[in-house]
């Protein structure tokens, strides 16, 4: 935006001061008249006009460069997120992995083969994440959001997923042995060829789960499951599942 604008030449001082009614106002009027002359002279200086055009042009160039480098900034952001995840691999705690995982998933970056075993990921939100062949063993992801996530061939053994949201998640050929899914929402999930040995499914929501192809449910605890599909509980018990409320009693029979 060009701020400089042409100005009319100020009137002569003799004429200008003739309109002053009070002597005390003379210094103030004189000061204002001098500034009017300075503004008039600068408004006709082409160099300033060129500078204003150059300023506007530099803003335009900066905007173009900003959008042109957007791809590089995203790549750098992803690189830093992966660095956080890989550096913390095999370590306990979060180590910034919750934010890094969520950032990558928000940008729809596949998380295939990711290893967060033993990590503290409580409350992590990874809806629709591509987690094929991932390693979530022994991690603490209580109250996590994994709605519609793909855990095909993944390892979730001994993980803590209490009250997590797994609606419509894919667990095809995954390992959930000794996993804690107490109170988890598993409605619509696919457990084809999955193993759930010693898995804690107490109070979990099993509405519309695909269970016919489950490989093993030996000693899986189904106490208090909600909305179980017709025939599932009896089928599971025939294959070694149990319904025991107490941890101590369940441990005693394992």
How far out from the chain centre does Cα 78 lie?
12
Q: What is the pLDDT of residue 71?
A: 60
Burial 75-102 (b: 16+ CB within 10 A, else e): eeeeeebeebbeebeeeeebbebbebbb
Q: How confident is the model at residue 69 (pLDDT cuts 50, 70, 90)?
A: low
Rounded mean pLDDT, 83-97 = 86
**pTM recorded for the entire structure:** 0.72
Q: Could you give the CA distance from residue 167 to residue 186 in angstroms, rounded to a whole number?
A: 5
Task: Give tens-digit pLDDT for 180-216.
Answer: 999 999 999 999 999 999 999 999 999 999 999 999 9
* Domains defined for the chain, CATH in brackets: 14-68 (no CATH), 91-254 (2.160.20)
Torsion from C-alpha of 114, 164, 203, 185, nearest 10 degrees: -100
Q: Is residue 244 within 8 Å of residue 226, measured between CB atoms?
A: no
Q: What is the pLDDT of residue 147?
A: 98
Q: Could you give the CA distance from residue 199 to residue 152 in angstroms, rounded to a whole number?
A: 17
Between the alpha carbon of residue 33 and those of residues 12, 21, 30, 48, the distances in Å are 9, 16, 5, 22
Q: Please tell me whether residue 103 adopts helix, strand or coil conformation.
A: helix
Contacts of 46 (CB under 8 A, 6+ apart): none
Poorest-confidence range of 46-60, 163-177, 185-199?
A: 46-60
Rounded mean pLDDT, 11-16 = 64
Distance, first Cα to last Cα, the chain: 78
Q: Checking phi first, is residue 203 left (phi over 0); if not, alpha (psi -120 to 50) or beta?
A: left
Q: What is the pLDDT of residue 88?
A: 87
Its sign, for the CA torsion 178, 220, 168, 145, is negative
* pLDDT tops 60 at residue 5: no
């Amino acid at each position: 935006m060009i701020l400089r604008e042409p100005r009319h030449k100020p009137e002569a001082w003799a004429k200008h001061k003739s309109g002053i009614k009070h002597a005390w106002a003379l210094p103030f009027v004189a000061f204002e008249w001098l500034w009017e002359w300075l503004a008039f002279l600068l408004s006709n200086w082409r160099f300033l006009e060129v500078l204003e055009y150059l300023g506007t042009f530099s803003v335009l160039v900066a905007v173009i460069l900003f959008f042109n480098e957007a791809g590089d900034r995203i790549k750098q952001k992803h690189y830093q997120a992966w660095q956080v995840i890989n550096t913390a691999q095999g370590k306990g705690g979060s180590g910034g992995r919750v934010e890094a995982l969520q950032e990558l998933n928000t940008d729809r970056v596949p998380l295939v083969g990711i290893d967060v075993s033993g990590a503290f990921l409580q409350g992590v939100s990874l809806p629709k994440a591509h987690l094929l062949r991932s390693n979530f063993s022994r991690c603490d992801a209580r109250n996590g959001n994994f709605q519609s996530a793909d855990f095909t061939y993944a390892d979730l053994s001994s993980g803590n997923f209490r009250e997590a949201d797994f609606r419509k998640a894919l667990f095809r050929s995954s390992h959930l042995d000794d996993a804690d899914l107490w109170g988890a929402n598993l409605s619509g999930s696919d457990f084809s060829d999955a193993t759930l040995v010693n898995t804690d499914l107490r109070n979990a929501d099993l509405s519309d789960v695909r269970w016919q192809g489950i490989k093993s449910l030996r000693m899986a605890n189904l106490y208090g499951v909600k909305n179980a599909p017709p025939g599932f509980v009896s089928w599971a018990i025939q294959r070694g599942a149990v319904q025991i409320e107490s941890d101590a009693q369940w441990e005693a029979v394992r």
